[in-house]
Amino acid sequence: MKAELVMSSPIVAVRPVEPIAHAKRMMLRYRVNRLLVMERGRPVGFLSMRDIAENLAVSGPLWKRKPIDEIPISQVMRPEVISVAPATGLNKIAAIMLRRGISSVVVSDNGKPLGIVTKTDLVRYFADHLRERFKVAALMTPNPICVSPAHSIARVVDLLKRHRISRVIVTDGRKPVGIITESDLGFAQLELPWRPPVRVLRYARKTERGGRRVARYVKHIGLLTAEDIMTPRPLTVDMYDDVADAADLMIKHGISGLPVLERGNLIGIITKTDLIKGISRLG
């Protein structure tokens, strides 16, 4: 199968000078998690929901920080753009994605962009053409990164960034009770990352001088947790299921990863990247 037969076209693109808020609206409108950034008809980068989610964890003095939605796309996008010819095989594209750590390539003909091939396009191909090739246990990632419902959003962002992953599973013991993705973070109704709009406790304390009360101050304590933004009751697969069935679930429900269970207990996760590894092995 060739790139030109599975690529997404027309291309959904944005300009580097536009704000992140515009990119998020485009993602919602076209139901995509990745946009090609173009300037003067030339691809100059990609912007993904991972890029947006990672930039929620900014640091530095407060006066230098801006809400993520106001930042220009050029400051958050990834400038690397890999192009392939229309006749490039899908196993070769899968190998390029794994080797370069990317999720999409541009399909070009004589320098003219025709479309893009994303991991989702390859997963759709897997669901349609690779039934009975692999069991979930053969491709899954064991020991997935997990958090508890009470963990903070700051911890979730840190885990995603540190492990270069797109989602964490929320567990209660060995049972998956939710999942948090880059999209959950990127589209969450957060104000500034250092001042989250959360359930607030008003903690009043008296200040006294010489036994006489002279003032009272109120302390606001943020409590936004993993449970607040997770998708509850995530879809799951069994370790002995056909990977094509997992791919079909991902496409039908617009998700990128599924917790893997054995006798009801969490043992792994299977993601689009795992399916790309399977495609790369095919001749």
Each residue's pLDDT, cut to its tens digit, for the chain (283 residues) gives: 899 999 988 888 999 999 999 998 998 898 888 899 999 888 999 998 878 877 765 555 443 456 667 889 999 898 889 999 999 999 999 999 999 988 899 999 988 899 999 999 999 999 999 999 999 999 999 999 999 999 988 899 889 888 988 899 999 999 999 999 887 776 654 433 444 444 444 434 444 545 555 444 444 434 678 998 899 999 999 999 999 999 999 999 989 999 999 999 999 999 999 999 999 998 6
Domains 3-129 and 136-187+226-280 share a fold: yes
Q: In the prediction, which pLDDT does 217 show? A: 43
The structural domains of the chain, with segments of one domain joined by +, span 3-129, 136-187+226-280
Q: In the prediction, which pLDDT does 32 show? A: 84
Peptide bond into 234 cis (omega under 30): no
Give the residues across from 204 on adjacent strands. 218
Level-2 CATH architecture, domain 3-129: Roll (3.10)
Residue 36: which residues within 8 A CB-CB, separation 6 or more? 11, 12, 13, 14, 43, 45, 46, 81, 104, 106, 113, 116
Q: In the prediction, which pLDDT does 241 show? A: 97
What's 136-187+226-280's CATH class? alpha beta
In this structure, what is the dihedral angle of CA atoms 248, 147, 166, 185, given to the nearest 10 degrees? 110
In this structure, what is the dihedral angle of CA atoms 192, 163, 94, 178, given to the nearest 10 degrees? -70
Contact, 70 vs 19, CB < 8 A?
Answer: yes
